[in-house]
Homo-oligomer: A and B are copies of this chain.
Amino acid sequence: MFTPQPIGSVFSPYKDAAAIPKGLGAEHQAEGVLNILPEFEPGLADIEGFSHLFVIWVFDRSNGFDLIGKPPTDSMAHGVFATRSPRRPNPIGLTVVELLRREGGALHVRGLDMLDGTPILDIKPYMSSIPAETLRRGWLAEAEARKP
Contact = CB atoms under 8 A, between A and B. Distances in A.
B137 A125 contact: yes
A5 B140 CA distance: 28
A128 interface: yes
B79 A42 contact: yes
How many chain copies does the complex carry? 2
Interface string A123-148: 11111111110111111111000000
A82 B130 CA distance: 20
A78 B2 contact: no
Interface of A: 1-7, 36, 40, 42-52, 54, 56, 58, 60, 67-68, 77-84, 88-92, 94, 96, 119, 121-132, 134-142
Q: Which 6 A-B pairs have the closest CB atoms?
A: A49-B138, A45-B79, A51-B136, A129-B129, A43-B67, A81-B123
